[in-house]
């Protein structure tokens, strides 16, 4: 089963069941390493059997993913705050476009890398912070209330928490059909945005990226797809932990979650701004 998030999709550690064993993975019904349960809840295995193993062969845990995701989002937030307060008005547009393009380029590199480089992940977070900082300030000024940023952040956190709670409480099963539908919808949505961006360079304005009815519709679709991607990402991360993905893959998981959460925040911010209206 593959995730719609290409970051997680690139690594076999998040796509078990293809006949490949991962460092630290235990066979069906057998114990896992480092006193952790096996893939299906078996008893722990004595840690001395793994003495001398490479450092990065320790299986990834959920704590690893949480810590790295927090670090990555922290960089996004700090750089966004700095960009909001420091970047002068004269270079706002170039900085905004540079942040977006650099973030996109790094995202592509990281998405298709077999091994994620933590330094590149942090550089991506910094570039995304520049983009979000300037973009958020523009929207706040358009609305006339900087408090909308806090509302969007809270809405993002609540939405992500509710999505995770729903996934765990209702034990949502991510089926191949559901995965395929989300993948196709996400690719189609991204394709429309790219075409719209290219068309806008030639003076054509469809309103997709604006603050009208069309912009509200596409922001709502984007937020909905982000939620579905979160479900797929939660499932892939859970599978990676269960099947003993190496600790280094926690950076890939953190990057994938950051991409989706940033996407969710941006669309929720646009929805709030459109509903509030500008001055």
pLDDT in tens, 65-115: 999 999 999 999 999 999 999 999 889 989 988 998 899 889 889 988 888
Using the predicted structure, report yes or no on whether residue 255 has a pLDDT greater than 90. yes
DSSP state, residue 42: P
DSSP state, residue 115: S
* pTM for this prediction: 0.79
Which token pair is 80?
Answer: 């966004």
Q: How many CB atoms lie within 10 A of CB 40?
A: 12
What pLDDT band is residue 166 in, cutting at 50, 70 and 90?
A: very high
The pLDDT assigned to 34 comes to: 31
pLDDT in tens, 59-71: 999 999 999 999 9
pLDDT in tens, 28-58: 333 333 333 333 233 333 333 333 335 446 8
Q: Which residues contact 202 (CB under 8 A, 6 or more apart)?
A: none
Q: Which residues contact 113 (CB under 8 A, 6 or more apart)?
A: 10, 120
Using the predicted structure, report yes or no on whether residue 218 has a pLDDT greater than 50. yes
- Read out DSSP for 163-220? HHHHHHHTT----HHHHHHHHHHHHHHHHHHHHHHHHHHTT---STTSSSHHHHHHHH
d(CA 238, CA 107): 22
């Amino acid at each position: 089963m593959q995730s719609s998030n290409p970051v997680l999709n690139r690594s076999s550690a998040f796509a078990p069941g293809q006949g490949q064993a991962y460092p630290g993975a235990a066979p069906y019904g057998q114990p896992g390493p480092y006193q952790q349960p096996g893939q299906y809840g078996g008893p722990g295995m004595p840690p001395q059997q793994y003495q001398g193993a490479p450092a990065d062969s320790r299986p990834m845990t959920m704590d690893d993913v949480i810590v790295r995701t927090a670090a990555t989002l922290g960089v996004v937030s700090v750089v966004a705050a700095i960009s909001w307060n420091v970047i002068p008005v004269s270079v706002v547009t170039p900085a905004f476009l540079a942040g977006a393009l650099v973030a996109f380029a790094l995202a592509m590199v990281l998405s298709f890398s077999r091994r994620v480089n933590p330094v590149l992940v942090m550089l991506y977070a910094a570039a995304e912070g520049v983009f979000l900082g300037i973009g958020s300030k523009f929207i706040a000024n358009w609305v006339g209330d900087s408090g909308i940023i806090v509302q969007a952040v809270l809405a993002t956190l609540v939405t992500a928490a509710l999505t995770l709670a729903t996934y765990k409480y209702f034990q949502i099963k991510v089926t191949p059909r559901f995965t395929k539908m989300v993948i196709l919808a996400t690719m189609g949505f991204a394709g429309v945005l790219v075409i719209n961006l290219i068309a806008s360079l030639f003076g054509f304005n469809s309103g997709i990226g604006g603050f009208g009815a069309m912009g509200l519709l596409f922001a709502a679709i984007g937020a909905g797809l982000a939620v579905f991607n979160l479900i797929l990402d939660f499932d892939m991360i859970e599978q990676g932990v269960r099947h003993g993905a190496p600790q280094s893959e926690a950076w890939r998981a953190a990057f994938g979650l950051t991409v989706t959460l940033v996407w969710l925040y941006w669309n929720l911010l646009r929805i709030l701004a459109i509903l509030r209206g500008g001055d």
